[in-house]
Amino acid sequence: MRNAPTILHLDMDAFFAQAEQASKPSLRGKAVVVGGLGPRGVVATASYEARVFGVHSAMPMGQARRLAPNAAYLVPRFTFYRSISDQVMGLLRALSPLVEPLSLDEAFVDLEAGGAAWDGESAQRAGVRLRADIRAVTGLTGSVGLAASKMLAKIASEQAKPDGLVLIEPGTERALLGPMSVRTLPGVGPATGDHLRRAGITTVDELAEAGEDELVRLLGKAHGHALYAMALARDDRPVVAERETKSVSVEDTYDVDIHDRLRVGLEVARLADRCVRRLRGAGLSGRTIVLKVRRYDFSTLTRSETLRGPTDDPGVVREAAARLLDSVDTTGGVRLLGVGVSGLADFTQEDLFAQAAGERAAVPDEEPQPVEPAGREETPAEHLWRPGHDVRHAELGHGWVQGSGLGRVTVRFETPDSPVGRVRTFRTDDPALEPADPLPLVKADPRAEPGPCPAPTSPGAPAPHDRVGPDAGDGPDQVSSVPASLPKSWSGSGGGAATSRP
């Protein structure tokens, strides 16, 4: 573990819900729940206002509705969230070449590797500037943890939530961790926590006092050794900039079990096409096609087929998935289907043939969707209007769907920078109403003249990289000046934890 708190952990606060509140003025300060809205849906993210009622991620949506019946329940807009995430990751990569994304809304950064920080003071300045830049570029807030290791930086960002910054000074880690619950440590879930509690171990101090041999006896060799090291605040894991993708997959859970074999086949073909689009988007191909089927009785079957070479051809993946489906009995009904590709490569078998022939065939970015057999029932019009998704009306402009059913769709007409909008109801087949793309949360200022803003230097310190906004195409370049004075820090009861909440 290093001697300076130059590992930064960023966690965007209730990311999906916060993005929805920022784009919808009528939802700001209100309980918002994002997730699957069907009978089998689960909560993806709940706003802090919804968490007051006990709603949390991974909770069944039915339970969430009972706890917070008056909350706004929205279907996720992953393309929108990904575009915001790209902007945030661009800001992180401007700080350092060593950025380890964990998800759309979470990442580690090695500030020292980018010359952005070399001690506690410079690390705190970098964290304050980062939070300001994120707000300027995206309009959203994020919580920042700074420490000498990844484990402690993540714990610090949890303490900083929401919209704060916590720095853990080296040498204070044991005093800070000691009184915390064992559940604070990575890898200690409900099952491990209960097992330790039955052994009389509930805090990190008690974990350390139990000793390594006892933890190995209770949890096994690998887990026991790792947990004892964490209890002593030892974590030498480096920030890894690139993680190898092992597979690409998509899956859908259905509100009602699918019994019709033809419909199951069409769903598998549709999932195969989605999987290939994601595969191509990552610039990858794969050799092994995987089919996942969860049946009516919750039994889950997985079938796979390995091709002679890697491919990103949707026709090949569709055919392989269809062959795998032939070996699965779906008579009782299907509740979940998934298609994946593993054995990944950054070339295809077709590429090799083309190179050997001295030419390369042009492949379209997306294959046309398969023609569906005549007689398939069309999707009801109201299914096009998903709560939370964007729409545009020919006369009233941009809005979002509040709900639909019984041939009607209710729309609130507002934009991220407008006052709370009015609500109107239309027929679901109204020709003046159509789906729309999300609007940016922050508008570009044509008068802005951005330029690099270097981090402060100190005698003998490495020269930091210039800090700039996101790459072109992700949004306007934004920079922020180093504040003349930082907010005063205070030491928490854990000792050595400096918290800044501007």
Residue 12's identity, in one-letter code, is M
Q: What's the CA gap between 253 and 265, in Å, rounded? A: 15
* Phi and psi based region of residue 319 (left: phi greater than 0; alpha: psi -120 to 50; beta: remaining): alpha
- Bridge partners (DSSP) of residue 107 are 10, 101
Looking at residue 116, its amino acid is A
Angle at 17 between CA 15 and CA 442, to 5 degrees: 70
Q: How many residues does the chain have?
A: 502
3-class SS of residue 372 = coil
Look at residue 474 and give its three-state secondary structure: coil
Structure tokens at 476: 């306007």
Instruction: Scan for tokens 């484990």, then name that residue.
Output: 151
Token pair in block for residue 334 = 């299907």
Q: Looking at residue 382, what DSSP letter applies?
A: G
Q: Specify whether 169 is catalytic.
A: no
Are 438 and 77 in contact by the 8 Å Cβ rule? The answer is yes
| Integer Cα distance of 27 and 18 in angstroms | 10
Strand partners, 304: 290
Quote the distance between the C-alpha of residue 475 and its chain's center: 19
How is the chain split among helix, strand and coil, in percent rounded to 5? 35, 25, 40
Going by C-beta distance under 8 Å and a sequence separation of 6 or more, which residues neighbour residue 197? none
> Cβ of 486: how many Cβ atoms within 10 Å?
15
**Candidate list 20, 49, 100, 106, residue with the active-site label:** 106
Q: Which two tokens stand for residue 27?
A: 């939802």
Strand ranges in 267-325 using DSSP code E only, listed in sequence order:
285-295, 300-311
What residues are annotated to the active site? 106
